[in-house]
Amino acid sequence: MENDSKALLEIRGLAKSFPGVKALQGVDFTVRRGEVHALMGENGAGKSTLIKVLTGVYPRDAGIVRLEGTEIRPTSPKSAEALGISTVYQEVNLIPQLSVAENICLGRQPTRLGLIRWGAMARHAEAALARLDLKLDVKQQLSACSIAIQQMVAIARALDVSAKLLILDEPTSSLDENEVEELFKIIRKLRAEGLGIVIVTHFLDQVYAIADRITVLRDGQLVGEYEAAKLPRMDLVTRMIGKELSQLAPKQTTESVEASAPKREPFVEFRQCGRTGSIAPMDLTIGKGEILGLAGLLGSGRTETARLMFGIDKIQTGEMFVDGKSAAFKSPGEAIRAGFAFTPENRKSDGIIPHLSIRENIVLALQARQGVAKAISRKQQDEIVDKFIKVLGISTPGPEQLVMNLSGGNQQKVLLARWLATQPRLLILDEPTRGIDVGAKAEILKLVQSLGKDGVSILFISSELEEVVRYSERVVVLRDRAKVGELTGSQITEEGIMHTIAAPQSK
């Protein structure tokens, strides 16, 4: 790519690694003045790392970052701000307890003789908001505003630092349609003023609604930069997921799938189950012993569906049936007693108990279901644990090893063991193969398949379409927090899933 005269930000050959992971390798990225540039990619693509390098949270290992032609090397969010790079995060990073005006001016309040001039500050904040065509009572507490307004206040703050480049990291995740439209109006206005805007979002419709250009990353590498108008949806999806249509493996049909698919008795049924701000009401059935795949891009509502089913979030609309009987779980504990099990997507924060041993982690759920009084004897514990260490091939010097010291793959196996020990009837697997090595991945997938054969129902959530296709009997496809399709039998191909994801909104 030659030097673009309109280029505001130029990144060439950016590299960043963490111990064991090459997060970014030789990535080029260019943002021009007056354009909205979408940064796309699935988990592990390197979007977050790129943004964090750009805003000075991480130092870069190699590569050139130029802003308006001069090389920059921000060392903190503050120094990035001073250079003209401002970021607004999804989880609005402001102080909810303070007023709108303060949040816009914090750290830069107008003062006289060291004392803050509240009146001037309010006027300043009003002016900053006026630039976004926003009129608010700036004296009200930020927490009293809707998330959308808070987001806009964050943008106002970012612009107030005389931003040249505005980075919006998943700004629309918590907004409803009208609010998104409001936000986009503001983004278009800023684009017209000549700002460069980088937007990270998982909503395909929104990308096409707002972005001029799209840069796709995958596994820390640049896939390409495209003009949004000239990139068909299908191409975008394939580039993000990393499969060209021509190289897709032909669908592997196994007789058992074909034969048994229609005959299954339903175990769990969603009838128009949904939750505001989480997932739109949907129907979903998992048969006994069925492996149901849940496919969709990042942020499409996969995890939200799992949380709803497992009783972490309450179902607000519709009704859930288990074994034909209505069930409304108020806590995961109730779901567990109904025979449910759930390995969460975020192993570290929601799954493992890091400072406890493998043994304790494995018996935890079984013990919780049995209650405090009925302690599992040490002998039984050792038997259970030894069995699972062997069956699952958990590589560890011994069962008393702390879980935090295991590799990701082995941690995941420990979590699986925790649930298999409870002999679950439904296993919800949220990204069970994320971030683990190839060997462990294959073992876990083999296990999933054999569990299905043993009559355990499985809700299989994965961003690896190949896995979903290979192991699922049926696939429910989600997009933008709603169910958009259901594939069975020979429809289950990577191409089929991608078409369903990419299909233009039917509404």
Partner 1 sequence: MSTAATTTPAPSGRFQKREIRWWSSLLWPVAGLALLLIFNAFFTPNFFHLEVRDGRLYGVLVDILNHGSKVMLLALGMALVIATAGVDLSVGAVMAIAGAVAAQLINKAGVPFPVVIGATLGVAVLAGCWNGLLVGLFKVQPIVATLILMVAGRGVAQLITDGQIITFDDARLTYIGNGSFVGLPFPVWLSMGMLAVTVVLTRKTAVGLFIESVGDNQTASTYSGIRAGQVKFLVYAFSGLCAGLAGLVAASNIKCADSNHAGLFLELDAILAVVIGGTSLTGGRFFLVGSIVGALFIQTLTTTMYMRNVSADVAPVPKALAILIVCVLQSPTARKKMTGFFRRRNAS
Partner 2 sequence: MRTYSKYIPLFATGLVLLSLYLVGCISFKGFGSLRAFVDLFGDNSFLGIAAVGATFVILSGGIDLSVGSVVAFTSILIASLVGHGFSPLTAIGIALLAGTVFGTFMGFLISVFEMPPFLVTLAGMFLARGLGFMVNPQSLAITHPFFLERVANGLSIPLNDRISIPFTATCYVVTFIIALIVAHYTRFGRTIYAVGGDEHSAALMGLPVGRTKILIYTLSGFCSALAGVVFTFYTQSGDPAVCVGLELQAIAAVVIGGTLLSGGVGFMAGTAMGVLILGLIQNILNFKGNVSSWWTPIIVGFLILVFILLQNAVVLVSKRFGGKLGAAG
Interface residues with partner 1 (CB under 8 A)?
16, 18-21, 23-24, 43-49, 52, 57-58, 220, 310, 312, 331-333, 336-337, 342, 344, 346, 348-357, 360, 363-365, 367-376, 397-398, 400-402, 404-405, 418, 434-435
Cβ pair 14, 50 in contact under 8 A:
yes
Nearer to partner 1, 298 or 498 (CB): 298
Structure tokens at 333: 């504990």
77, 242, 266, 435: which one binds partner 2 (CB under 8 A): 77
CB of 398 to partner 1, least distance (A): 7
Gap between the Cα atoms of 399 and 37, Å rounded: 50
Structure tokens at 221: 């590498």
What sign has the CA pseudo-torsion 91, 156, 175, 215?
Answer: negative
Q: Work out whether 107 is an interface residue with partner 2 (CB under 8 A).
A: yes
Nearer to partner 2, 97 or 254 (CB): 97
Gap between the Cα atoms of 73 and 259, Å rounded: 60
Q: What is the dihedral of CA 176, 177, 180, 182, to 10 degrees?
A: -110
143, 253, 450, 505: which one binds partner 2 (CB under 8 A): 143
Nearer to partner 2, 349 or 377 (CB): 349
1, 21, 127, 144: which one binds partner 2 (CB under 8 A): 144
Choose from partner 2, partner 1, none: what does 140 bind? Cβ within 5-8 Å by kind: partner 2
Q: Work out whether 182 is an interface residue with partner 2 (CB under 8 A).
A: no
Q: Work out whether 125 is an interface residue with partner 2 (CB under 8 A).
A: no
Choose from partner 2, partner 1, none: what does 69 bind? Cβ within 5-8 Å by kind: none
3-state secondary structure of 15: strand
Choose from partner 1, partner 2, none: what does 144 bind? Cβ within 5-8 Å by kind: partner 2
Q: Work out whether 146 is an interface residue with partner 2 (CB under 8 A).
A: yes
Choose from partner 2, partner 1, none: what does 398 bind? Cβ within 5-8 Å by kind: partner 1
Nearer to partner 1, 328 or 375 (CB): 375
The residues near 493 (Cβ < 8 Å, ≥ 6 apart) are: 248, 251, 469
Q: Bridge-partner residues for 268, per DSSP?
A: 286, 322
Gap between the Cα atoms of 485 and 293, Å rounded: 12
Choose from partner 1, partner 2, none: what does 370 bind? Cβ within 5-8 Å by kind: partner 1
Q: What is the DSSP string of 17-67?
A: EETTEEEEEEEEEEEETTEEEEEE--TTSSHHHHHHHHTTSS--SEEEEEE
Contact segment (CB under 8 A) with partner 2 among 9-17, 72-80, 414-422, 496-504 equals 72-80
Cβ pair 352, 411 in contact under 8 A:
yes
Binding-site size for partner 2 (CB under 8 A) equals 35
CB of 55 to partner 2, least distance (A): 9
Nearer to partner 1, 57 or 261 (CB): 57
For residue 312, give Cα distances in angstroms to 84, 181, 258, 350, 434.
41, 31, 34, 12, 21
Q: Which of residues 423-482 bind partner 2 (CB under 8 A)?
A: none
Q: Work out whether 102 is an interface residue with partner 2 (CB under 8 A).
A: yes
Nearer to partner 2, 111 or 370 (CB): 111
Cβ pair 29, 67 in contact under 8 A:
no
Q: What is the DSSP string of 370-439?
A: H-SSSPPPHHHHHHHHHHHHHHHT---S-TTSBGGGS-HHHHHHHHHHHHHTT--SEEEEESTTTT--HH
CB of 504 to partner 2, least distance (A): 22
Q: Work out whether 157 is an interface residue with partner 2 (CB under 8 A).
A: yes
Closest CA to 455 of 289, 256, 268, 261: 289
CB of 173 to partner 2, least distance (A): 11
3-state secondary structure of 302: helix
Other beta carbons within 10 angstroms of residue 471's beta carbon come to: 20
Structure tokens at 180: 């998104």
Nearer to partner 2, 175 or 468 (CB): 175
Q: What is the DSSP string of 233-281?
A: HHHHHHHHHT--GGGPPPP---HHHHHHGGGPPEEEEEEEEEETTTEEE
Nearer to partner 2, 56 or 63 (CB): 56
CB of 163 to partner 2, least distance (A): 13
Contact segment (CB under 8 A) with partner 2 among 33-41, 94-102, 322-330, 457-465 equals 94-102
Q: Bridge-partner residues for 86, per DSSP?
A: 166
Binding residues for partner 2 (CB under 8 A)? 76-78, 81, 89, 93-98, 102, 106-107, 109, 111, 114-116, 118, 137, 140-141, 143-148, 150, 157, 174, 176, 276-277
